[in-house]
Amino acid sequence: PSPSGPPGTGTDFAAVAPNKEDAIVIPDGYDQSVVIRWGDPLFADAPAFDFEKQSAAAQAKQFGYNNDFAALLPIEGQANAFLLVVNHEYTTGPHMFRGYDKEAPTDEQIAITQAAHGLTVVEVRGEPGTGKLTPAFGKYNRRITATTEFKLTGPAAGSDLVKTAADPTGTKVLGTIANCAGGVTPWGTVLSGEENFNGYFANADKVAETVATARIKRYGFTAGKTPNHWERTDKRFDLAQEPNEANRFGYVVEVDPWDPTSTPIKHTAMGRLKHEGATIYVTKSGDVVSYTGDDEKFDYMYKFVSTRKVQSGSGASSMRHNLTILDAGTLYVAKLTGDHADKIDGTGAKPSEQGFTGTGQWIPLLETGADGKGKSLVDGMSAEEVAVFTRLAADKVGATKMDRPEDFEANPYTGKVYVALTNNDNRGKDGKQGPDEANPRNLNKNGQILEIDDDHTGTEFTWSLLLVCGDPNAADTYFAGFDKSKVSPISCPDNLAFDPYGNLWISTDGNAMKSNDGLFSVVLDGANRGATKQFLTVPRGAETCGPVVTESRVLVCVQHPGEADDATPDNPLSHWPDGGTAQPRPSVAVVWKKNGGRIGA
Ligand code: FEO
Ligand code: CA
Ligand code: CA
Ligand code: CA
């Protein structure tokens, strides 16, 4: 395909200035509405949200907390009807409950937070003449929570590393947690990354065995209680009582939103790490490649090349086949080499005339055959170990330590792959590893965007930095050579999306420049390559997530509005979206052009 317009089509709007408003701020000529909020009912028999009177039974039938990834899938044969699929990444008791006791939440509060995790599938309907979307009690509506049954597949499934007292088969896992970004597959399912799962498991100090200690340390499990206290009511979250339960989280999960009774899958062939998400690219010859980042300071970028191709057709047998695509293939980790190593001297970024460029290699770690059996390609580790302790395998092969790899997205027109490297304020700090050409700054507070020209199924690639983010007036920022006096300041890129014209859209999380987070468009091709413009900002304390940019709509997830260490229901930082004195509620919002028409025209 090729974009139906010259480079930059779809980015003609007046940039929104940095601000601290408790609102979604959008360009002149646009309108907005909230699609769905934390607690909104998803089923006819679900109670309306009542902040003062919550229950786990209600939450299990309502929209979850802290929406992150969003997918908007058109329902075939129904005009203006979509499935909205959303991740609910995490919960924070102090913001969810009045009078919350951080040391001793009630059993019901613990159950509510478990029910507020996972994913939501909800039908939404548009109306002619506006971009507004309204939820419906549709037949596809579904909540997946921290207790929903999943099937574990791939080389680790059934191995001793994932067997527990409650599941001696090592194949049935209850729940998904810490679901951050994700992707839509060409076969109609949704992928979701289990990211900061380590924070849900208590008492890492009580796991004695030496080899286990190294594993536990590399995945960041810590001593004592967790902030959520789930271990108090559910022993599987206590490493001292059930050391293998944690080996069943940290995967790419796949949900078939078209069948509300389907059992979602955790794919161990794609490795266990803090998956930011997973996104799919299909090559011209039909090969399926999935890219995924491990979001941690100094962690790695991965890809999975499947040996299976997509079976077309909407029947159940096609879906059965397609749900195994991510269970057979090779998992690789990336190693990058800069072209101008001599210009990176340990003190920080020095964009040369040529920008930041280099070559790279995908190093194979694990091969999974059509029979589901794994073959380790890493010395001293079994296939099961590589699948479950993927970070340790990648350490052994000398992969490149990146500045927190978040979302990946492939340009549907050029096939080039983009990666958000959100920040790494530890680079070069206190004797830690210093800069390299792909991660060119010490104490990197603002992040960068990497562009990869990949031979998708092969092992070689070239790369360059598209953006080195931050204040355009600062010498250490770079916007692909574009005039820096004409760009918006951008900090901490997290999620990526493409619009129908081949422009990259970037949402941010943790703006280090003291303004609210936002959503930006970036032109990739033509004379305006690098032109970066802020399309919206989200309310106070929120990060911008899950962008979906279509011809006529921009959908964003507003995650954790009002989140601040000292914010509580009695001292809220934000009252969005309900206003007045209301509590902030994580919500999905939609923006459209007032007179209709396409975004950015
Ligand atoms: Fe949940 Fe990497 O952001
Ligand atoms: Ca993220
Ligand atoms: Ca994305
Ligand atoms: Ca983030």
Cα(201)–Cα(117) distance, integer angstroms? 15
- Judge if the beta carbon of residue 276 lies within 6 A of ligand 1: yes
Cα(197)–Cα(393) distance, integer angstroms? 19
Report CA(369)–ligand 2 centroid distance (Å).
31
Per DSSP, the three-state class of 555 is strand
Contacts of 591 (CB under 8 A, 6+ apart): 24, 26, 30, 31, 32, 131, 535, 536, 553, 554, 555, 556, 599
Cα(332)–Cα(377) distance, integer angstroms? 10
- Residues 144, 255 contacting (CB under 8 angstroms): yes
Cα(585)–Cα(51) distance, integer angstroms? 10
Report CA(277)–ligand 3 centroid distance (Å).
8
Nearest ligand 1 atom to alpha carbon 274? 2
Give the residue among 596, 598, 599, 578 at the shortest CA–CA distance from 587.
578
Q: What pLDDT is attached to residue 352?
A: 63
Report CA(365)–ligand 2 centroid distance (Å).
25
Report CA(269)–ligand 1 centroid distance (Å).
21
- Judge if the beta carbon of residue 367 lies within 6 A of ligand 1: no
Cα(550)–Cα(125) distance, integer angstroms? 15
Q: Which residue has the tokens 């006819």?
A: 44
Cα(469)–Cα(446) distance, integer angstroms? 5
Q: What pLDDT is attached to residue 336?
A: 98
- Judge if the beta carbon of residue 195 lies within 6 A of ligand 1: yes
Nearest ligand 1 atom to alpha carbon 89? 1
Report CA(208)–ligand 3 centroid distance (Å).
39
Nearest ligand 1 atom to alpha carbon 276? 2
- Judge if the beta carbon of residue 545 lies within 6 A of ligand 1: no
Cα(589)–Cα(548) distance, integer angstroms? 11
Q: What pLDDT is attached to residue 112?
A: 98
- Judge if the beta carbon of residue 543 lies within 6 A of ligand 1: no
Rg, the chain, Cα only = 23
Q: What pLDDT is attached to residue 299?
A: 98
- Judge if the beta carbon of residue 421 lies within 6 A of ligand 1: no
C-alpha dist (Å) from residue 160 to 86, 172, 264: 33, 13, 22
Whether ipTM exceeds 0.95 = yes
Q: What pLDDT is attached to residue 351?
A: 62
Q: What pLDDT is attached to residue 211?
A: 72
In 116-252, where does DSSP find H-type helix? 210-218, 230-233
Copy the structure tokens of residue 363.
Answer: 């190093």
- Judge if the beta carbon of residue 89 lies within 6 A of ligand 1: yes
Report CA(509)–ligand 1 centroid distance (Å).
8
- Judge if the beta carbon of residue 406 lies within 6 A of ligand 1: yes
Block means of pLDDT (10 residues each) for the chain, 601 residues, are 88 98 98 98 98 98 98 96 98 97 98 98 94 98 98 98 98 98 98 98 86 90 97 96 96 98 98 98 97 98 98 92 98 96 75 83 98 97 98 98 98 97 97 94 97 98 97 94 97 98 98 96 97 98 98 97 95 97 97 94 93
Cα(444)–Cα(442) distance, integer angstroms? 5
Q: What pLDDT is attached to residue 318?
A: 96
Nearest ligand 1 atom to alpha carbon 178? 1
